[in-house]
Amino acid sequence: SQQGEEDPQALSIQEGENATMNCSYKTSINNLQWYRQNSGRGLVHLILIRSNEREKHSGRLRVTLDTSKKSSSLLITASRAADTASYFCATDWRTSGSRLTFGEGTQLTVNP
């Protein structure tokens, strides 16, 4: 399977703390994206990082990509209760066309 893996599967932290989620994948990729999903809702795009980029920032989000290790991390700084959600990484690779392959997700709980 081309599907990536994410760890941890679940993460529980206090408001104000940082949250780090990791994603690994199996094939060479074009791009890696992170999405958030609140319970019962669709996915919301957070950030896209290209295979030739190593780090990207967007507000409180920081994404890193290590293509040699086929891994990425998502850091959320100064977390808020509203950040509670499931977070998924998704990749597309050279022979996949436009389809995205999602990881199994990390369930983040931020306690007030």
Q: Where do contacts with other proteins occur on this chain (CB under 8 A)?
A: 3, 30-31, 33, 35, 40-45, 48, 50, 88, 90, 92, 96-105
Smallest separation, CB 81 to other proteins (Å):
22
- Residue 65 main-chain phi, psi, to 5 deg: -135, 125
Number of residues in the chain: 112
- Residue 82 main-chain phi, psi, to 5 deg: -70, -10
Q: Which is nearer to other proteins, 1 or 68 (CB)?
A: 1
Q: What is the spatial distance between Cα 95 and Cα 29, in angstroms, rounded to a whole number? A: 9
Smallest separation, CB 16 to other proteins (Å):
28
Q: Which is nearer to other proteins, 15 or 37 (CB)?
A: 37
* CA dihedral angle for residue 61, residue 97, residue 40, residue 22, rounded to 10 degrees: -40
Smallest separation, CB 15 to other proteins (Å):
25
